[in-house]
Amino acid sequence: MNAKNFDSEKNLETPQYYSETPEQCDDNQFTTTTVISLSPEFNLKNEKQNHRALDKQKSMESVLTTDTVMDPIPKKEKWYSVFIQIFIPFMIAGVGTIGAGIVLGNVENYSVFKHVRALYILVPALLGLKGNLDMCLASRLSTQANLGNMKGKKEVMKMIIGNIGLVQVQAIVASCVVSIFAIATSAVLNQQFEWNHCYLLMACSILTATLSCFTLDFVLISVIFLSKKIKLNPDNLATPLAASIGDVVSLLVLSSWARLLFTIHDEHQWVMFAILGTYVFLILPVWVLIVRKNEYTKSVLYRGWTPVLSALFISGAGGLVLDQAVNQFPGYVTFQPIINGIGGNLVSVYASRTSTMLHKTSIKGVIPPHTKQWVAPWTALISGVFPAKTARLLLAMSIPGQIVFVLSADLIANEGVLAAKVPFVSTYLLVSIIQLMLLLYTGHLMVHTIWKFKIDPDNFAIPYLTALGDLLGSTLLLLGFIFLRSIQQEYESDVEN
C-alpha cells in the first residue's frame, strides 16, 4: 500500500463531521449537497438560483453511518429549559381540556344532542381534526422557524397565507367526509335516519371545522413568531398553546351552531343548503386556487390527504366509544376530553421536536447516527436514543399534571364537591400513562419510518398520532370505568345533571 492510499484510509477512520467553509473540506469529505445531488429529485442548478440553504456540510460518514457517535449534533437543550417551555403551555392546555370536558358535560343536556345522536360520533372527530390540521401547521412552521427559513416579509406572508388556505381546504373536505361517516354509523347503531338531521350535521360540521381552525391558525402563527423572537423553541410552545383553547373553541362553536340550526331546521331547511353551497361552491374553490399557486403548500394539497382522512376515521371510532359510554357512565364525558387532549398534546410535542431534529441533522431517507428507527420501548422512551430525553420528560410531566387536571375537573363538575376517590384517580392515572407510553413509542417508530421513506413527518405523523390518542384514550378510559364498576368503586357525581 503506497503512502497516498494509507493517508486516505487514515482520514476515513477519523471523519470530520463539520467543516466551517468549503475550502476546509479534505479529499474524503462530502457535503450534504454532494450526497443529495445523487437523488433524481434534486436539481442543483435550481437550488443555486433560488439561493436556498442546504443542511450544514456533513461528511459522508456522518450522513450514512448509523453507529457513529456524533457529539456536535444535534444541539442539546438544557433539560430544565425544555421542561419550563413545555410545562407552562402544558398546564394551560390542561385548563383547556378541563373546560372542554365541562362543556361536553353540559351540552349532553341540549335537545339537539338528545335527538341527533350522531353528534357524539362527530365530537371526537372534530376535536381530532384540530390536531390533524392545526398541529400539522404548527409543526410545519416550527420546523421552518428552527431551520431559519422564515426570513423576508414577502416569503413569510406567502408561507402563512398558503398554510392557512391549506388548512381551510382540508377542513372543508374533511368535515364533510366525517359528517357523512357520523350519519351512516349512527343510522346503523341507533336504527334511525332523518334527512333533516343530515343537513344539520353537515352544516354544523363544516362551520365548526373552518371557524375553529381559522381562529387557531392565527394563535399558532403568533405564538411561533413570538417564541422565535424571544429565542424559545416553537416546537415546545405552539401545539400545547393551540390545544389549550382548541377543544373549548371547537365544542362551543359546535354546540352553539347545533342549537341554533336545530331550532330552525324544520321550517328553514334552505339555511343549511345555503351554508353548504357557500362553502363547497364558493369558498373552497377560492382557497384551492390560492394553495395551488403557493410553492410551500402545493405539494401537500395533492399528497397530504391520506393521513388527514385516515385519521378522521380513527377518531370517528373513538366517537363510537363515546356514543356507547355516555349513557352508561355519566362522568365519562367530563374526563374523556382531558385524557384525549393531554395525550394528543404531548405526543404532538414529541413528534414535532423529533421531526425538527431529523430536518436539522439529516436528509430525508437517512436516519442520523444519534437515533435509530427500530428500538425497544425502553430505548425509545427512557434511554438509548436522542429523542428518549423528550419522551422521558413528557412521561414525568404527565403524572402530576394528570392528577391536577382530573381533580380540578371533578371539583368544577361537582360544584366544589370532590367526588373522585382514590380508586378512580389511581385507575385514571394508570390508563393515562399506558395511553401516553403507547403514543410516544408509536410516535418514535412512525416518525422515523416516515422519514426513512423520504416523507415529511410534519405532514403525516401528527394526524395519525392525535387520532390514535383519541381512540386509545376513549377506549382505555371506558375500560377503566368498567373495571371500577366491577369492583364496586364506580365514579359517582354528586351533582345530578
Per-residue model confidence as pLDDT tens digits over 103-162: 877 777 788 887 887 888 788 778 777 667 777 787 778 777 777 777 778 888 888 898
Q: Could you tell me the three cell numbers for 479?
A: 375500560
Q: Could you tell me the three cell numbers for 364?
A: 430525508
- Residue 43: predicted pLDDT: 44
* 243, 344 contact by CB (below 8 A): yes
Per-residue model confidence as pLDDT tens digits over 2-12: 444 444 444 43
- Residue 320: predicted pLDDT: 79
* 74, 388 contact by CB (below 8 A): no
pLDDT averaged over every residue in the chain: 77
The residues, any chain, with a CB within 8 Å of residue 73's CB and separated by 6 or more, are 17, 62, 360, 361, 368, 370
Cα distance between residue 417 and residue 298, in whole Å: 53
* 90, 397 contact by CB (below 8 A): yes
Cα distance between residue 366 and residue 63, in whole Å: 7
Mean pLDDT, residues 15-43 taken together: 41
Specify the length of the chain in residues.
Answer: 497
- Residue 16: predicted pLDDT: 38
Residue type, 428: Y
| Closest C-alpha to 307, from 420, 453, 410 | 453
- Residue 432: predicted pLDDT: 94
- Residue 74: predicted pLDDT: 54
Per-residue model confidence as pLDDT tens digits over 51-109: 444 444 344 443 344 333 333 445 566 767 777 777 877 787 778 778 877 787 777 77
The residues, any chain, with a CB within 8 Å of residue 197's CB and separated by 6 or more, are 115, 116, 118, 183, 265
Domain layout of the chain by residue ranges: 16-73, 79-362+370-486
Mean pLDDT, residues 408-428 taken together: 87
Helices (H), 265-304: 269-278, 284-292, 298-303
Q: Could you tell me the three cell numbers for 233?
A: 423553541
pLDDT of 482 strictly over 70: yes
- Residue 329: predicted pLDDT: 86
| Closest C-alpha to 368, from 442, 447, 465 | 447
* 202, 120 contact by CB (below 8 A): no
DSSP one-letter code for 193? -
- Residue 353: predicted pLDDT: 86
